[in-house]
Amino acid sequence: MAEVTIQGVLSVGSNDLYVVGPSTTARVKYLKFYNPVAYSVTVSKYDFSLASTINLYDLTLDPGDSISDDTQYLLQGRDKLSVTATIANTTYLLLLDVS
């Protein structure tokens, strides 16, 4: 199992944070979002085997608020973790175990 860290800046609209390869799995260990202005994020998981998207949470935050999520989400082959952001320049950090 390899630990992977991904960080960056979200665009307004839908952003794919991680797409699992066809014969691998991933476990989301930690997820963080931050923006100095008021913003909303919707975090969702696309389940490839069911061909459906599940919204994990939808939050509206005040200026300077951050989200720190250490819920462990399991992603199977071809699943993806996505975030929809309402404001540009929201930063994120994603920590995963990939095998």
**For the chain, what are the domain ranges?**
2-41+51-98
Which uninterrupted H or E stretch holds 95?
strand 90-98
For residues 95 and 27, the answer to whether their CB atoms sit within 8 Å is: no
Residues 2-41+51-98, CATH architecture: Sandwich (2.60)
Instruction: Give 50-86 pLDDT, tens digit per residue.
Output: 999 999 999 999 999 999 999 999 999 999 999 999 9
Q: What is the pLDDT of residue 1?
A: 82
* The model's pTM: 0.94
For residues 85 and 11, the answer to whether their CB atoms sit within 8 Å is: yes
Q: Which two tokens stand for residue 38?
A: 């008021």
Closest Cα to residue 31, out of 1, 67, 64?
67
Closest Cα to residue 75, out of 7, 29, 32, 9?
29
Instruction: Give 5-41 pLDDT, tens digit per residue.
Output: 999 999 999 999 999 999 999 999 999 999 999 999 9
